[in-house]
């Protein structure tokens, strides 16, 4: 048993001493620890109820509460644990599975969902991959165009290349303003029709 608990503690994502300290600073977990030690579950408060329901499972060792083979994480360390488990921004299932294998607290699944929903990096990746998927699905002639401003022998030129046919257009610009770029694009679209997607380097004229 001691060896098993040692393994559990080794796998715990945060420092064991920090968990023990935060557990003793957490009035609810301190009370649960007492109840586990005393095997006494009389007059359970509403906050203690979830622990009462699993009362055959918790054990306590070295100041840490264990539920099954998971460390019970005090509230003060939950955010840090979520951050650790979310390193590398895994998908939600992998993220929650990593948590479930090592740690436990009441409402952990909901907290993990909320954490993942609020992660800006996950949002960025999700949006980019959705855009990439959309762009990769677009095929055919004059559906997707790459536009850019280039300088040829001192003359500013709007370069347009069609992804579908590799057809290039080079159009001299009177000025490198947004209005001049729009004028040139409108001329080209009047001749060939509107594409579905324009890909640019996000220069100010294309914003």
Sign for the pseudo-dihedral over CA of 14, 83, 51, 68? negative
Q: How is residue 38 written in tokens?
A: 């005393």
Per CB under 5 A, 87 contacts Zn ion? no
Nearest CB to Zn ion, comparing residues 122 and 160: 122
Cβ-count burial 51-88 (b if 16+ within 10 Å, e if not): beeeeeebebeeebbbbeebbbbbeebbeebbeebbee
Stretch that binds Zn ion, among 5-13, 103-111, 117-125, 170-178 (CB under 5 A): 117-125
Nearest Cα neighbor of 47 from 113, 114, 112, 107 is: 107
Nearest CB to Zn ion, comparing residues 7 and 94: 94
- How many Å apart are CA 123 and CA 114, to the nearest integer? 13
CB of 155 to Zn ion, least distance (A): 46
Nearest CB to Zn ion, comparing residues 44 and 119: 119
CB of 88 to Zn ion, least distance (A): 8
Nearest CB to Zn ion, comparing residues 68 and 91: 91
List phi, psi (to 5°) of 130: -65, -40
Per CB under 5 A, 89 contacts Zn ion? yes
Stretch that binds Zn ion, among 32-40, 115-123, 145-153, 184-192 (CB under 5 A): 115-123
**Touching Zn ion, residues 118-177 (CB under 5 A):** 119, 121-122
Nearest Cα neighbor of 81 from 69, 73, 90 is: 73
Contact 52, 40 (CB under 8 A): no
- How many Å apart are CA 198 and CA 204, to the nearest integer? 14
Count of residues touching Zn ion (by CB under 5 A) = 4
CB of 119 to Zn ion, least distance (A): 3
Stretch that binds Zn ion, among 32-40, 42-50, 112-120, 132-140 (CB under 5 A): 112-120
Could you list the residues that contact Zn ion (CB under 5 A)?
89, 119, 121-122
């Amino acid at each position: 048993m001691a060896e098993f608990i040692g393994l559990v503690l080794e796998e715990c994502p945060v420092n064991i001493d920090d968990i023990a300290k935060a557990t003793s600073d957490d009035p609810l977990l301190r009370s649960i620890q007492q109840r586990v030690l005393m095997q006494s579950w009389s007059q359970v408060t509403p906050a203690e109820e979830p622990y009462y329901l699993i009362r055959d499972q918790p054990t306590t060792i070295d100041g840490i509460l264990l539920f099954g083979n998971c460390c019970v994480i005090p509230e003060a360390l939950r955010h840090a644990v979520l951050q650790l488990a979310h390193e590398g921004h895994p998908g939600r299932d992998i993220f929650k599975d990593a948590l479930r294998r090592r740690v436990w607290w009441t409402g952990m699944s909901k907290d993990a969902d909320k954490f993942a929903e609020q992660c800006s990096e996950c949002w960025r990746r999700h949006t980019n991959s959705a855009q990439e998927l959309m762009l990769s699905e677009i095929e055919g002639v004059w559906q997707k165009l790459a536009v850019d401003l280039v300088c040829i022998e001192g003359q500013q030129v709007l370069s347009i290349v069609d992804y579908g046919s590799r057809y290039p257009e080079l159009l001299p610009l009177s000025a490198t303003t947004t209005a001049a770029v729009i004028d040139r694009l409108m001329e080209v679209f009047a001749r060939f029709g509107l594409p579905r997607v324009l890909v640019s380097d996000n220069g100010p004229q294309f914003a």
